[in-house]
Structure 1
């Protein structure tokens, strides 16, 4: 009897605890639901009052989009809202396809400039060249328009007619063509860089990119290479499933490549290789840099963790977050972070800690105290929390400031365009040489364009002089500042010779 009473007490006590926990959960959930409903009601009421009483007319699309964007910015930079007007950009991001003429444009003053023409597409077949100045599209002047506006005018439904007016060497010409479905190749180049080394340049993880890399690898193997270089420098990533497929080209079936873990458990998943590899034995090197991110890091990290090859270059970007897309009403889309990904050793290589922002809203890197050590398949030590650290680190050689200025301000591009049209006899890169006379022409070109620049040292001295004047020290040391300005002033002709 006493024992029965004890059992009853235990059961009652357990039920009370369970009821208490359940009640607490329901109260918490009810409180959260109430707060969501309350804040949505406040937002709706606020917008209704603004729309009714604000002094000027309000653009509802613009102001709501701004509100959504600012809300999402408090989370992470990868959770993004795409309105219906951005549907083409969203499709291009995930598939690498869009309707257009097959060219890239950049700013170039009053008019934008064709910076690249994709071979085999309408612009290329029509005869448009890099360096052409875009003056009109279908008779509409483009003067003063941004690159985004001009790009949007070039895009359109495949099969539609378009007339592009360009200026080349001072002469305007019209080019008529039909827009097509443009597919940006994820493998812009592959080939043998010497008798024993095959090289694959791989730029983006869009749909079906695995087939492109596979075809490149199979083609290279006909040359009997002894080693392969897979170059994912500057590759920003893309579709996670394609990353698994790329690893599968070099690793046989049954190997885990990546797993995802998040708040919604139904999205947790382990991704393994499922097919026979194209080549499991050939020595492999993967090139990475600070621009290698997301799916590119999955490939590099899996190759490293499985000890399938070596990683060469710089530490990668450190994006260990997974996004999925959710369709919203009115043909809008939400790309939302749902999980973190973990490569075979169990590490997550996310560099920035968005879950613990600073008081000012900024985010910091994962602190050293939270970085852990993991082991590769063969027992080598690797770490999480900051991208993929290469097995062989190679820092890029820094450019001189004059070279950086010439490149970033497109003087090299503009001279190359001018050189191309003044040397029609150039047939191939193997026949090309840039002579001393050509370099003298480049100097003259820069003088004609009134090229100049300020070094960081000169800019710092200008700031120092400004501070000295504000604090009343300048007049006391005017001769000293004048002498210093003279000593550190750069000489363009000297720089062009020294950093040639």
Structure 2
């Protein structure tokens, strides 16, 4: 007797339809004859695709594509997250993973250390930027792809991994046994003093640890004499709502609205208030934003602006004001479903129109707001800030108090130099031969160091042998002298003291930051007025 073949796709479809029908019967999904009919049609289409499509189809991928299509009918931010992606997302948002604690790139086929994460096991053993991991567990690490490296180096806390390291300037490789540990994934990776009074903090996302990281950064800068702060939220795409509230709470006085939400289901419409805890409500504050600042970043910058706590400077933010609730699914995947909308304290809807999906999703790539007509801004709904009653605009995103269009926009030669990674490679070799960290002071180096003429000549000789640099002429190199010297200085700082020092050099040529620093007089006046709020009430 012949066996009856049941196609995998039909099994998947049957399970999917069965689940949905069960949901209908139990009342989890409101039943209607039209919906029931369409579910049967869906099942028929899946069956026909499996039997008659010109090529074999992957059942799981086809159903997942159907799920994605369903969610696209809702809004751009309701999303189905596959199991593997969900695991990575959870790791990123919880703020830690288990491994040896390095960031790396594959260069010329070798695992090249970009940085050893501060406090991690690799940093404790002295791993440096530029080190190459040439062996793992006694086997060559040549030509491994990133996924293979991660699989070999990550692992449970307390387990060991043996590596072989090749260091610039050293004659021989050496072996290390690294015991894996919990590694923090920082969401506030940079903080430092720009001068004797001005602190700088950059937050790249809002993970589960962002508020704690911010508090630690603030305390460190205060111990160094900080009197005013630049809080950089550019290209911060958001994260956890509770972290946005706690971060705002660091700057907003107690019992003030930070954000509120409106939704259809029970519990989705809420007001969120600042606490009466420790608040930095007195020092002048500038918040930097751009088109890549979204969601939680807009909650923070909107609260700072609406309460007249500080100046918001930069570009109009992305305009992502939809609240997603996370639902874990039985196969390890997840559904991020929009359940409400965000509003700033003055009543502005953060969400921008997404009627044109392509324009909406490409907005963050725009370099400036130059193609936004003034009349378009003026046509947006007007609101008043809560203390000084300044005019601010709704209609999507946070429009800055001071628009700064200047952005870092490298020319063709500069882009080529960065793509070739020549600053990193040259700096690692130069530092090994010419610099002694024990004799250097980080702050003096960042402020005063300049690559000497002899070093620039070495670079010109070095780049002649770099594969891919043949099209760069000596005239090109000479014309970019200042850019090259700063690029080498940036990587030297990273080699000696890590990513924080590297970024400290980088922002010296950041046009938006440099322009923002000229507006601290206005921020100081705003801080004085905010400090008086509530005193006479």
Shift of 1:302: 0.8
Judging changes above 3 Å, is the alpha-carbon distance between structure 1 residues 290 and 445 closer, same or farther for their aligned structure 2 residues? Answer: farther
**Secondary structure of 1:448's aligned partner:** coil
Shift of 1:215: 3.2
Question: In the alignment, what sits opposite 1:89?
Answer: 88
Map of 1:160-175 to 2, 5 A cutoff? 160-169=159-168, 173-175=174-176
Judging changes above 3 Å, is the alpha-carbon distance between structure 1 residues 194 and 182 closer, same or farther for their aligned structure 2 residues? Answer: same
CA distance in 1, matches of 2:96, 2:312: 30
CA distance in 1, matches of 2:246, 2:30: 44
Shift of 1:328: 0.9
Judging changes above 3 Å, is the alpha-carbon distance between structure 1 residues 221 and 420 closer, same or farther for their aligned structure 2 residues? Answer: closer
2:374 maps to 1:393: no
Shift of 1:106: 2.8
Shift of 1:135: 4.3
**Gaps in structure 2 of 5+ consecutive residues:** 1-27, 364-371, 482-537
CA distance in 2, matches of 1:227, 1:141: 51
Judging changes above 3 Å, is the alpha-carbon distance between structure 1 residues 333 and 408 closer, same or farther for their aligned structure 2 residues? Answer: same
Quick one: which of 405, 409, 417 aligns to 2:428? 417
Question: In the alignment, what sits opposite 2:517?
Answer: none
Question: In the alignment, what sits opposite 1:98?
Answer: 97
Shift of 1:159: 2.4
Q: Is the contact between residue 131 and residue 417 of structure 1 (CA under 8 Å) also seen in structure 2? A: yes
Question: In the alignment, what sits opposite 2:453?
Answer: 436
Q: Is the contact between residue 95 and residue 184 of structure 2 (CA under 8 Å) also seen in structure 1? A: yes
2:513 maps to 1:496: no
Shift of 1:273: 0.9
2:344 maps to 1:338: no
Instruction: Normalising by structure 2, report the TM-score.
Output: 0.71
Q: Which has the higher contact order (CA 8 A, sep 6+)?
A: 2
**Gaps in structure 1 of 5+ consecutive residues:** 1-28, 455-490
CA distance in 2, matches of 1:69, 1:453: 46
Shift of 1:306: 0.7
Question: In the alignment, what sits opposite 2:416?
Answer: 405
CA distance in 1, matches of 2:130, 2:69: 38
CA distance in 2, matches of 1:322, 1:381: 26
Judging changes above 3 Å, is the alpha-carbon distance between structure 1 residues 338 and 30 closer, same or farther for their aligned structure 2 residues? Answer: closer
Shift of 1:66: 4.5
Q: Is the contact between residue 402 and residue 453 of structure 1 (CA under 8 Å) also seen in structure 2? A: no
Cα RMSD, aligned residues only: 3.4
2:182 maps to 1:157: no
CA distance in 2, matches of 1:78, 1:224: 42
Question: In the alignment, what sits opposite 2:112?
Answer: 113
2:377 maps to 1:376: no
CA distance in 2, matches of 1:398, 1:254: 42
Question: In the alignment, what sits opposite 2:10?
Answer: none
**Secondary structure of 1:330's aligned partner:** coil
Question: In the alignment, what sits opposite 1:127?
Answer: 126
**Secondary structure of 2:191's aligned partner:** strand
**Secondary structure of 1:266's aligned partner:** coil
Map of 1:242-391 to 2, 5 A cutoff? 242-351=243-352, 353-354=353-354, 356-357=355-356, 368=376, 371-377=380-386, 378-391=388-401
Larger Rg: 1
CA distance in 1, matches of 2:191, 2:257: 28
Q: Is the contact between residue 95 and residue 209 of structure 2 (CA under 8 Å) also seen in structure 1? A: no
Deviation string for 1:308-333 (max 9, x for gaps)?
A: 11112333333222222111112322
Count of matched residue pairs: 433
Deviation string for 1:252-301 (max 9, x for gaps)?
A: 22211111223435312211112234232222111223332221221111
Map of 1:220-239 to 2, 5 A cutoff? 220-223=221-224, 225-239=226-240
CA distance in 2, matches of 1:109, 1:74: 44
Shift of 1:89: 0.8
Question: In the alignment, what sits opposite 1:446?
Answer: 463
Shift of 1:100: 1.7
Shift of 1:131: 2.6
**Secondary structure of 2:247's aligned partner:** helix
Deviation string for 1:464-492 (max 9, x for gaps)?
A: xxxxxxxxxxxxxxxxxxxxxxxxxxx62
Shift of 1:448: 0.4
CA distance in 1, matches of 2:254, 2:30: 48
Judging changes above 3 Å, is the alpha-carbon distance between structure 1 residues 140 and 82 closer, same or farther for their aligned structure 2 residues? Answer: farther
CA distance in 2, matches of 1:44, 1:147: 40
CA distance in 2, matches of 1:321, 1:498: 47
